[in-house]
């Protein structure tokens, strides 16, 4: 299998998608619980409106608490996104060059004089979500690689390289979909 070279810019929408994905992954159990509580409360409220049962104020307070918690989490992430976008050292809009093969990866931001290169198996995690790949070099250093400018061949090659090198540490929404279809 060959390698792939990519030239791209990370936009605000890419950063936002990565930030929200990280939030939902970090707090997925709490979000699932909150959604279950809100769905149950919605069904309960429909029953109350149809006079099947009466509304218990405690149920409304619990559901309201979960709703407020969700809104606070979303507002906090949005505040951090906007803070980073306005920061003088933001990397949003900078030109990246990334190279991947079966053994190595490198990512460079020439305008900032920054580059990282290492054995691809040393990546901690990688995720392919709706519009980008997220590569975690460390728990604190993550790179976003948008798919919008990739050809289908580049996307498939990068997915294959990451899957082979990382195994269970690579998660792809699309690879799972392809496996279910028997591809």
Distance CA 79, CA 77 (A): 5
Cα-based distances in Å from 8 to 65, 99, 102, 109, 174: 42, 12, 21, 10, 21
The predicted-structure confidence for 166-175, as pLDDT tens digits, reads as follows 999 999 887 6
> Residue 176 has what pLDDT?
52
Sign, CA torsion 108/112/114/120: negative
User: In the numeric block, which tokens belong to residue 141?
Assistant: 């250093």
pLDDT of residue 183: 41
Higher local confidence (pLDDT), 41 or 182: 41
* Chain mean pLDDT for the chain: 90
Residue-wise pLDDT for 107-126, tens only, equals 999 888 899 999 999 999 99
Residue 143: count other Cβ atoms within 10 Å of its Cβ: 21
């Amino acid at each position: 299998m060959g390698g792939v070279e990519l030239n791209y810019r990370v936009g605000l929408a890419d950063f936002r998608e990565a930030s929200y994905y990280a939030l939902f992954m970090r707090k997925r159990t709490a979000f699932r619980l909150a959604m279950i509580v809100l769905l149950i409360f919605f069904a309960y409220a429909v029953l109350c409106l149809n006079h099947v049962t009466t509304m218990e104020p405690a149920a409304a307070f619990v559901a309201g608490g979960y709703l407020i918690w969700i809104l606070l989490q979303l507002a906090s992430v949005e505040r951090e996104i906007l803070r980073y976008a306005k920061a003088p050292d933001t990397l949003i809009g900078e030109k990246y060059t990334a190279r991947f093969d079966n053994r190595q990866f490198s990512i460079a931001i020439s305008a900032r004089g920054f580059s990282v290169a290492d054995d691809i198996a040393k990546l901690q995690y990688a995720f392919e979500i709706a519009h980008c790949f997220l590569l975690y070099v460390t728990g604190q250093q993550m790179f976003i690689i948008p798919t919008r400018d990739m050809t289908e061949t580049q996307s498939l090659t990068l997915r294959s390289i990451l899957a082979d090198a990382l195994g269970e540490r690579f998660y792809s929404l699309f690879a799972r979909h392809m496996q279910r279809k028997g591809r």
